[in-house]
Amino acid sequence: MDATAWDQRYAGTELVWSGEPNRTVAAEVTGLPAGRALDLAAGEGRNAVWLAQQGWTVTAVDFSAAGLDKARRLAEQHGVAVETVQADVTTYRPESGHHDLVVVAYLQLPAEVLTPVLAAAAEALAPGGTLLLVGHDRANLTDGVGGPQDPAVLHTVEEVTAALAGLDVVRAERIRRPVQVDGEERSAIDTLVRALRR
């Protein structure tokens, strides 16, 4: 989907996604000392706003103006500041060595497009900084529910970790995420990778 399509999706007054942070992002970040965070493909800003509530100085990047408008409103509702940058993450180049945390949540792109995004994300990390990626795993097509149905945009642990040369991968696995389907709890399968800059 391009920026126009996402603008249309975010056009309503209600949030498309929950105003709460992604549970995996919250679990993986809790306990890290707050610093400068970059949320790539931030959408409506739920993770960025939560990070700001935890004391992080946050920059949220997305190509959807409508999504970023909602992110700013959500931040205002929660009494926190989030810097927003309207940019396509496939061409956006953050400041090198500047961020203590880079979050890439549910950015579903073909591996050949995602790889340079992750390289730029890794380059943006300060020494000791954390890169956290969570997204729909390719195994979700056969063993999970929901999410995109195009295998080309689904992650694998192997493809993501291969794109993080120069970082120390500290966690890389497929995880199950509970979702409600017709009132019944089912599982979606996500890729989770956490890596550190030496």
How high is the mean pLDDT in each 10-residue block of the chain (198 residues)? 60 63 97 98 96 98 95 96 97 97 97 96 98 97 94 97 95 95 93 97
3-197 falls under which CATH superfamily? Vaccinia Virus protein VP39 (3.40.50.150)
Tell me, what's the pLDDT at 196?
98
CA-CA-CA-CA dihedral for 122, 149, 179, 2, to nearest 10: 60
Complete edge-to-edge strand list for the sheet that includes strand 82-86: 82-86, 57-62, 36-40, 99-105, 125-136, 184-197, 167-181
Could you tell me the residue ranges of all domains in the chain? 3-197
DSSP-assigned beta bridge partners for residue 102 = 38, 131
Q: Rounded to whole angstroms, how far apart are CA atoms 143 and 141?
A: 6
Q: Which pLDDT does position 102 carry in this prediction?
A: 98
Q: How many CB atoms lie within 10 A of CB 21?
A: 21
pTM (2 d.p.): 0.92
Give pLDDT, residue 2: 63
Query: What's the pLDDT score for residue 11?
Result: 66
pLDDT at 124: 98
pLDDT for position 181: 86
Give counts: helices (H), strands (E), the chain.
Answer: 7, 7
